[in-house]
Amino acid sequence: MTLAILEHTGLNIQTPEHPPMGGACGDEGTLHPGETPSPVIHTENLNLWFGEAHILQNICMAIKRNRVTALIGPSGCGKSTLLRCFNRMNDLIDHTKITGEVRYDQENIYAPATDVVLLRKKIGMVFQKPNPFPKTVYENVAYGPRVHGIREKRELDRIVEKSLKDAALWEEVRDRLYQSAMGLSGGQQQRLCIARTLAVGPDVILMDEPCSALDPIATAKIENLIEGLKQRYTVVIVTHNMQQAARVSDDTGFMYLGKLVEFGPTKQIFEHPEEVLTENYITGRFG
Amino acid sequence: MRMAISGIQTRMATPALRRIREQVIASVWFICAIFAIIAVCFILGYLLLNGYPTFLQINLWDFLFGQQWNPTGSSPEYGIFPLIIGTLLVMAGAMAIAVPLGIASAIFMSELAGPRLRTVIKPAIELLAGIPSVVYGFFGLVVLTNWIRISFDIPTGETWLAGSVLLAIMALPTIISVSEDAINAVPREYKEGSLATGATGWQTISRVIIPSALSGITAAVILGIGRAIGETMAVLMVTGNAAVIPHPIWNIVSPIRTLTATLGIETGEVPIGSLHYHALFGIAVILLLITLAINLSATIILGRIRSAQTGGAVKKQRLADETRVKIRHLLSYCLIGMVLLLVAIAAGILPCLILLIGGAAAALIWKRISPKMMQKIAYTLLFAAVGTVIVVLAILLIDIIVKGLPVLSWEFISGYPSNLGREGGIFPAIIGTIYLVVGAILIALPLGIGATIYLSEYTREGWVTKTIRTGVDLLNGTPSIVFGLFGFAFLVIFIGFGVSLLTGWIVLALMILPTIIRTSEEALKSIPHAMREGSLALGASKWQTIRKVVLPAAVPGIITGTILSIGRAAGETAPIMFTAVVFTSRFLPDSIFEPVMALPYYLYILSTSVPGAQQNAYGTALVLLITVTLFYGAAVLIRIRYQKSSRW
Ligand SMILES: Nc1ncnc2c1ncn2[C@@H]1O[C@H](COP(=O)(O)OP(=O)(O)OP(=O)(O)O)[C@@H](O)[C@H]1O
Ligand SMILES: [Mg+2]
């Protein structure tokens, strides 16, 4: 239908008929003994262009269930863009071209038949800058459940309370649920956005530098939160903060100039990186 | 080291000098800003002064609620009730058409249309805004009324319906472009945040984007209403102008007469100083009061929405959420009850029951539609709305182009009219229009930009800015015919400028001033504070910051405002028809104290008063269209160039 096409004008999706086996993605060797080999999100030869600029080049990675995966790398290397590929947020940008595959639960999310709405419901996202809606705290959290058809007040109340508690925000906002969310502090707004994401009941949570605008205390709160989220969700987090990556993540991917240079367990990346580039970046000997 | 510093210092004025210069500059802008208020007060005072004698002879009640308007009869009657009703009905009809179409088109353009489609539609809408009201009137007179006459099988098509349709078309561009700006101004993050929760596109639009843009959309609708209420020429030409109240009241094919049309018809012929003359001023005052009420309510609504959006945390909510929901429910039940009651009174019990059951069923079904289905329905409706707008524009343009093109020739453009305009050309009218527009812009642009700079850069929000803004709003809401009346009575007669180019400039400048101020202010406001701070932090003075950083960044917005103003000035008939123009003239004006010919007025007279001049009327309409389009085209090009070079 023409209507459906409008939803992502300007996007040009090319799915190769026969995804190249092996090739650049050759080694599935990122699996290590004793780990559950169940990737939730799996990219294969993912390439992305904004207009002429080749932003992501041959990205192959496997993000595993119930783990925290960190993406690190210098500014502009494509971390956010990669993250936004996972829930097709890049569809919103004109003149985007994507080749390769991103598989979520074995399904290629760039296949024409994909239900983007459902995908985004399963794969939630927290943005770099807190972006609460100009509504009340309550309405912000209830937004997701509401658009997914929940109407009963009691059920909504329950979800809102639970999500706010999970986001470690409940105590601070319980008395101002019906005031504008714009009046919260930056850290509170960010946790509100996390609560908003949790309220939908996602499977995977993508976080794009969630702490970049926050002070150490708020950062610590969110880091604790991520630690807890791991039990029930899969988390992918972009961060500029090496310590943060080391503290919260189980796996780490290092990106440089649009390529995924190295990907593996955090411990290994930080202690025995295979690539010189990675080591230089982590130790701060860069450029 | 010392050398380097003194090297910079030599180029800077001494601190004292700088301070004085800054202050002088600031006061210049202040005077510009105050001007709007002075103008408004003066116009209002002058109208009141001249309207007042009416009430020495007729009491207010009889004037407002008298059922007969017949000032030239053997026993003159001065009841303007039918005129008030006529004004409100035409406006309501127009809004019923224009608001849904306009908002839908705005949503379509900003959220659904791809960049390529948008670059086609946006200029089309701007063109719609540029089409002069007299051209709409002409089109309405020769096409629309005919169509209504035939399809409703009535003796004449000059009706309320025709007026409302025309006004709707005319209000559309305002509603569309202002709402579109409001929607575009909604931070991208909101949209992403919503989509990231798995909301559909339509859910995102209807639950996040539109609520966030609501204040702007409200402003758009109110501006549209202002446009519709103040419009004179188009309504005058197609509504039949019978001062009667439709019977029954919803009879949309009844002729009707508005307040503005009354002024437009009678101002030129009234004996100066007579009771009739003063009664016309009375009408102008009433008209002003209506627009005042509209503007005031608009301001209040806007203020509320704004404080709810931003100040929510500061202002404690007095009622608990629960109570508010209950109150809202109660209110909506009351509303439904009232509507049902009205229907019951008007049409009987049965339709009322049908409505009730139908409504309940619809509500039930509505709740069950899946979000996806809903999105499909909504998008289809949006498509249909935009399609309608485009088709209407196309019909209008094609009609005028096809019938006007054969008339166009070098002789037509460069010749002088003869045989009452049935033959000959329109050269003096073209030149006259250009004179009028250029002069008016030259007066209004510096004043307007000065006022804007003062408003947005030199003061904090307070009672001063509020007063000035109210003044500007009032001026903006003032119907153009009122400017005409004022210009006629004050400038032409009292001051003695006579019907002249100069009077035309002043009147037109007054009329476009608010448009320039408003749009420029929007442009200045949209410039991030960080940019100003960045410049100030480098040690630039306030005026340097404004001149080097703020103004250049605001140029596209200011140009947009100027575009809109040019469109208005070039196409307006009502304010100049008693103040600056003559129907035909064999010469170009020698001085600014002589009247000119102008395209819109020429077209108006040709199409309403000269039988057998339809061909030349089409030609004139086409030329007027082309003239306006050229102005627009140039301005749009400039804007695009600036947008390319200054992005932030
Ligand atoms: N909307 C866009 N249009 C065109 N190019 C873009 C767009 N968004 C990002 N880019 C480009 O894509 C590249 C990667 O951007 P991305 O935001 O993914 O980097 P990042 O690694 O997240 O950087 P940072 O750490 O600064 O957030 C950059 O070179 C950027 O200029
Ligand atoms: Mg980023």
Closest ligand 1 atom to A53 CA: 5
Min Cα–Cα distance to chain B from A9, Å? 6
- Helix intervals (H) in B420-493: 427-453, 463-477, 480-486
Nearest CA to ligand 1 atom 24: A75
Distance CA B285, CA B444 (A): 25
Q: What distance in Å separates the CA atoms of residue B402 and residue B344, rounded to the nearest whole number?
A: 49
pLDDT the model gives residue B18? 79
Given a contact cutoff of 8 angstroms between Cβ atoms, the answer to whether B602 and B545 are in contact is no
Residue A181 is predicted with a pLDDT of 86
Shortest-distance Cα residue to atom 30 of ligand 1: A76
Measure CB to CB from residue A200 to each of B187, B197, B308 and give the nearest one: B197
Contacts of B203 in chain A (CB under 8 A): 147
Distance CA B406, CA B413 (A): 13
d(CA A185, CA A218): 10
Nearest CA-CA distance, residue A210 and chain B, Å: 13
| Chain A neighbors of B377, CB-CB under 8 A | none
> Whose Cα sits closest to atom 6 in ligand 1?
A50
Per-residue burial over B258-276, b if 16 or more Cβ lie within 10 Å, else e, is bbbbbbbebbeebeeeebb
In order of B52, B266, B594, B625, the CA distances from B582 in angstroms are 30, 17, 10, 20
Contact B226, B477 (CB under 8 A): yes
Mutate to test the pocket of ligand 1, among A79, A84, A89, A96 (most ligand atoms within 8 A of CB): A79
Could you please report the per-residue DSSP string of B352-390?
Answer: HHHHHHHHHHHHHHHHHS-HHHHHHHHHHHHHHHHHHHH
Low-confidence residues of chain B: pLDDT under 70: 1-13, 298, 301-325, 346-347, 635, 638-639, 642-648
Residue A213 is given by DSSP the state T
pLDDT, residue B19, reads 83
Helix (H/G/I), strand (E/B), else coil: B184:
helix
Domain B81-407: CATH architecture, name and number where available: Orthogonal Bundle (1.10)
- Is B134 within 8 Å of B571 (Cβ atoms)? yes
Say which residues have a Cβ less than 8 Å from residue B162's Cβ, sequence separation at least 6.
B140, B144, B145, B148, B238, B239
Which residues pair with residue A255 across a beta bridge?
Answer: A260
Q: Where are the domains of chain B?
A: 24-53+408-648, 81-407
Q: Is B193 on the interface with A (CB under 8 A)?
A: yes
For residue A128, what are the CA distances in angstroms to A166, A214, B187, B208, B266? 20, 10, 14, 19, 64
**What is the distance between the alpha carbons of residues A276 and B119, in angstroms, rounded to a whole number?**
49
Supply the pLDDT for residue B440.
93
Pocket test for ligand 1, best of A48, A59, A81, A82 (most atoms within 8 A of CB): A81
Compute the distance between CA of residue B556 and CA of residue A165 in angstroms, rounded to an integer.
47
First-to-last CA distance in chain A?
Answer: 50
**How many angstroms separate the CA atoms of B477 and B225, rounded?**
9
d(CA B286, CA B78): 13
Pairing relationship of beta strands A234-238 and A68-72 according to DSSP bridges: parallel
What's the token pair of residue B189?
A: 């993050």
Question: B315, B309 in Cβ contact below 8 A?
Answer: no
* Pocket of ligand 1, beta carbon within 6 A: A 50, 53, 55, 73, 75-81, 93
Q: Which of A132, A182, A184 shows the shortest C-beta gap to B310?
A: A182
pLDDT at A99: 92
CA atoms lying within 13 Å on the CB side of residue B468: 25
Count of positions (residues) in chain A: 287
Inter-residue contact B511 to B480 (CB < 8 Å): yes
User: Which atom of ligand 1 lies at the shortest distance from residue A81's CA?
Assistant: 18
Tell me the C-alpha distance between B166 and B152, whole Å. Answer: 17
Mutation site, B112, B117, B197, interface A, largest A CB count within 10 A:
B197
CB atoms within 10 A of CB A93: 15
Nearest residue on chain B to A206, judged by CA atoms? B196
SS3 for B68-108 is CEECCCCCCEECCHHHHHHHHHHHHHHHHHHHHHHHHHHHH
Contacts of B214 in chain A (CB under 8 A): none
C-beta neighbour count of B3 within 10 angstroms: 6
Please, are residues B83 and B243 in contact by the beta-carbon 8 Å criterion?
A: yes
Q: SS3 of A205, please? A: strand
Distance from CA of A206 to the nearest CA of B (A): 10
CA–centroid distance, residue A209 to ligand 2 (Å)? 7
Closest chain B residue by Cα to residue A203 = B197
CA-closest candidate to residue B241, choices B251, B249, B233: B233
Task: Chain B: give the shortest CA distance to residue A236, in Å.
Answer: 14
Closest CA relative to residue A255, chosen from A21, A81, A31, A29: A81
Q: Amino acid identity of A103?
A: R
Report the first-to-last Cα separation within chain B, whole angstroms.
Answer: 35
B81-407: same fold as B24-53+408-648?
yes
* Residue B165: alpha-carbon gap to chain centroid: 16
CA angle A223, A225, A228 (to 5 degrees): 115
Q: Which residues of chain A have pLDDT under 70?
A: 1-37, 286-287
Nearest to B263 by CA among B64, B447, B112, B486: B486
* Pairing of β B423-424 and β B417-418: antiparallel
Q: Six-digit token pair at B33? A: 């800003």
Please give the CATH topology (third level) of the domain spanning B24-53+408-648: MetI-like fold (1.10.3720)
- B433 to B421, B426, B505, B627: CA distances (angstroms): 17, 11, 11, 9
Find the closest chain B residue to A173 by CA distance: B313
| CA pair distance B648, B645, nearest whole angstrom | 10
Which residue in A261, A268, A213 sits closest to A241, CA to CA? A213
Q: Indicate the pTM of the whole model.
A: 0.78
The residue behind tokens 């308007």 is B69
Ligand 1 centroid vs B414 CA: distance in angstroms?
A: 58
